[in-house]
Amino acid sequence: MHYYEVINKRPVTSITKRKNVLLLGSGFVSRPLVDYLARQKDLKLIIASNSRAEAATLTKNHKEIDIVDLDVQNKENLSKVIQGSDVVVSLIPAYLHHIVAETCIKHKKHMVTASYISPAMRELDNKAKQAEITVLNEIGVDPGIDHLSAMKIIDEVKAEGGEVTSFISWCGGLPSPESSDVPLIPLKYKFSWSPRGVLTAALNDAQFWMNGKQQKILGGELLKSHFPNVPIDSKFEFEGLANRDSLSYINTYGLAPLETKDAMLRGTLRYKGFSDLMYSFLKLGLLRTDPVNVQHNSWQDFLDYLLFGPSPKTKPTMESRISKIEEILNLPAKSQIMVDIVVNALKGLTLLQDQHQETTNLIHPPKTGSLSPLDTFCILLQDKLKYNPGEKDLLVLYHEFEIKLKNGNKTTKTSTLITDGIFGSDENYTAMAKTVGLPVAIATEMIARGIENNVYIFYFILEQSAVNILYQPKNLPLKKE
């Protein structure tokens, strides 16, 4: 069944007064949410964004939606727009959510976001309870649908008298294989989400449980310590990264005590080759998060700054740059192939340029402000590794459960979601947009209608999202056991 058919067949609860839903943000994943909520006749949607052009694109088929210009960090203006709403949806960068949450608590307005619960958000828990509002986090795809689909199976196992003895979950938003290749840059990755969010996720500390033991990885070593082979399906060559703190979900999922489990791991999928190349970028300083007040005349000047510092004694040459790269990477002599891969990738990104190489960049390094090397690098990646119209992205979510049945026998159960999407299409969404935007939209709808305390909200979101998201793309498997 097509997405739009499902939406049009959904009943609308009769409510005498329309509820105001305020959407903060107008970026990558907003369109499915806007289309969904605009069809609910008892809801009035307002979009507040720092990009009127983006917001206008979202509303071109929904003339009744209002647009408000807003810088979220302007707390006075933020307070004004939140005060007139019933539910606030925050799809802005995650580090700004706590500012929104504080304002929602002040005005006693509900809030929904797809992001992980940060320490700053967690500190607001008691205040939100005192204000008697719902602040719902982790209701996108990862985190979000992964939680819902995991709990559905865990609850079913328990209801049958069984026990989950191992839980391993992988999720990744990636280019579809036919859209993954970029000349000279073998990351096999493009950005359907904030580049900063993707790169900083690779800098997080991680801990998980494997083979009955606790494992810890410091953020600087996460890319180096990746899982080299994640065999979900023979059509894809995946590797994996441990995702943050898997152990924190042992109680959330009702799987405690941890010591009785063989494994508890939540991880992120990438195509093979991503982690080694990104780890090389990390060692070269491209992922540094400390602000630097240095202006760069070209992308090669930016790399020179990272390699040689602000005032090199002699003007760098291609030979001296490559020699410095080899020194910093400090790879064994037999790893010259990896050095060549890194050098070619830097050339593909125009961070290294031969004397007669033509520059194809449409953008230049920022001239003002104090940005970290990571933020500067993200500007380049957003340009070089963006999806072109008509290209496809892919969302893969995979759970594996080892189960001890009531009769003592052991079995394995898996749950797999694979969906793709198209960039620049009026008829389709990207995979990332629909798997994040639709669960957020459904949760917002239910909270606006006053049923946020119903425990079955989560299963309802899973069931409805599944109808809208789970279909079998061409030549791709879909298995749900």
Residues that are catalytic: 142
Nearest 10 degrees: Cα torsion 427, 428, 434, 439 = 30
CB-based contacts of 377, cutoff 8 Å, min separation 6: 199, 281, 286, 287
Residue 424: phi and psi, rounded to 5, are 75, 20
- Name the burial class of residue 26, with classes exposed (0-12), middle (13-18) and buried (19+) by CB atoms within 10 angstroms of its CB: buried
**Count of CB atoms within 10 A of residue 211's CB?**
8
d(CA 257, CA 236): 34
d(CA 36, CA 34): 5
Nearest 10 degrees: Cα torsion 300, 303, 309, 312 = -30
Instruction: Spell 114-146 as b/e; 16+ CB within 10 A means b.
Output: bbbbeeebeebeeebeebebbbbbbbbbbbbbb
- Name the burial class of residue 301, with classes exposed (0-12), middle (13-18) and buried (19+) by CB atoms within 10 angstroms of its CB: middle
428 to 392, 441, 445, 447: CA distances (angstroms): 10, 17, 22, 27
- Residue with structure tokens 């959407």? 23
152 to 34, 109, 168, 419: CA distances (angstroms): 27, 29, 15, 20
